[in-house]
Amino acid sequence: MSIEEVRRINEQGLAAWDAHDADAFVALFGEDIVFYDTALPDPIRDKEGVRQYMRSWLAAFPDMKTARTNAVISEDAVAVELEWTGTNTGPLQGPPGSPPIPATGKKVKGKGAYFARLRDGRIVEFSAHPDVAGLMMQLGIMSGT
């Protein structure tokens, strides 16, 4: 793939996230996806799991918008540092098996990074690194001291 193709797919993913379009986001992934998130104990290994992942974030922060702060792109991978804003007006899903955290109504500015590997025009490996501790402190769920 060319760097421009990888850039285009990355931009489509960010646009789908900002449009809250789970179907468009999931369409960018290959059938053999392995999707990691540092807050999850196990990787997600199917498109439906990726769809539910996105929907859980958007349920907690329905006005979420992203802003890319840094990106490195190659012929088969992209690494992005980003910030996002949102208001926690819905339940936030914690680790699998734990009850959802009730909405706080607080506005937050989250940070994170992700790395994606692509093959044949599709994302086949995705690794999300959200700043969960920073988010929990902003929501008042965890103390910063």
pLDDT tens track for 99-128: 898 999 999 999 999 999 999 999 999 999
- The predicted pLDDT at position 143 comes to 80
Helix (H, G, I), strand (E, B) or coil at 135: helix
Measured distance CA(13)–CA(21) in Å, rounded: 9
Helix (H, G, I), strand (E, B) or coil at 68: strand
Please state which CATH class domain 3-90+103-138 belongs to.
Answer: alpha beta
- The predicted pLDDT at position 144 comes to 67
Measured distance CA(53)–CA(44) in Å, rounded: 9
Hey, what are 94's tokens?
């914690």
- The predicted pLDDT at position 39 comes to 86
How many beta carbons lie within 10 A of that of residue 69, not counting itself?
A: 11
Q: pTM for the complete prediction?
A: 0.90
Tens-digit pLDDT profile for the chain (145 aa)? Answer: 899 999 999 999 999 999 999 999 999 999 999 999 998 889 999 999 999 999 999 999 999 999 989 999 999 999 999 999 999 999 998 777 888 989 999 999 999 999 999 999 999 999 999 999 999 999 998 886 6
Sign of CA dihedral 79, 81, 85, 89: positive
> Can you name the residues that pair with 100 across neighbouring β-strands?
none
